[in-house]
Structure 1
């Protein structure tokens, strides 16, 4: 009985939803734009110079920090 009432209710709701008055289609205003055939490329020349550092000495700070050893890297005696 409960399922019959539920199906009738669903069918009734679907028919009333279809019977609603539909709205008219809304027309969209289009905008015409011209095609650009010429393009200009601007290149800005930056005159900044960047400095690259060269470390001549073996014990420089950067090389020493990059070649660090941890306790796990040391060999252990069995």
Structure 2
């Protein structure tokens, strides 16, 4: 009985899905773009001074964060 009701329900849904009127055509507006053949190069002559940090200490924050260990890395006793 349950299979008959489910089959009828599926057939009913398929008929209602086919009965939908989806004939609307959507028009897309196209954008015309040109091709650039000339390229210009800008050179920035300003000197920038950047500072790089060197960590001498073994327990510095960056080195400690980069050397993290997960629980999977720890040895287990058999």
TM-score of the aligned structures, taking structure 2 as reference length = 0.57
Indicate whether 1:10 and 2:15 are aligned: no
Matched pairs, number: 55
Higher radius of gyration, 1 or 2? 1
Moved over 3 A (4+): 48-52
1:8-38 Cα deviation digits (max 9, x unpaired): 1011111111111113110101011111100
Structure 2: runs of 5 or more not aligned: 59-78
Superposition map of 1:20-31 within 5 A:
20-31=20-31
TM, length-normalised to structure 1: 0.57
